[in-house]
Amino acid sequence: MALTSQAAHADPKPTKSEVKAKVDKLYHEAEEATEKYNGAKEQQDKLKKQADALQDKVARGQDELNTLRGELGSLATAQYRSGGLDPSVQLLLSSDPDSFLDQASALDQ
């Protein structure tokens, strides 16, 4: 049986000052990581507030849009039932109000 003669090399035990330096370094790294986490958390909170505000604004805009659609639908229904636009609306939308009034006067006669 062949035996190899290798000396076992154990790492030397660190001194108290080396251990303290290593612990201090780890605390410093942990502190930096905590600061980065806190900064990211603050940014996330800020962005969440902005997103919530935008969602609220969109919801209010959607409500307003739905209200306007309902009003427009009612106006369209009324126009359909009455046979056309109200003359005052036609006058407001006319590109030449004088011509519109002349035509209206001729139709009345």
pLDDT of 34-63, one tens digit each? 999 999 999 999 999 999 999 999 999 999
Asked whether residue 71 is domain-assigned, the answer is no
Asked whether residue 11 is domain-assigned, the answer is no
- Which residues in the chain show pLDDT less than 50? 1
**By residue range, what is the domain housing residue 20?**
16-60
Q: Count the domains in the chain.
A: 1
d(CA 43, CA 49): 10
Asked whether residue 25 is domain-assigned, the answer is yes
Asked whether residue 55 is domain-assigned, the answer is yes
- What type of residue sits at position 83? G
**CB contact at 8 A, 36 and 30:** no
Asked whether residue 91 is domain-assigned, the answer is no
d(CA 98, CA 101): 5
Residue 91: what pLDDT?
Answer: 67
Asked whether residue 53 is domain-assigned, the answer is yes
- What type of residue sits at position 19? V
Asked whether residue 72 is domain-assigned, the answer is no
DSSP structure class, residue 81: H
* 58: Cα within 13 Å, side-chain hemisphere: 6
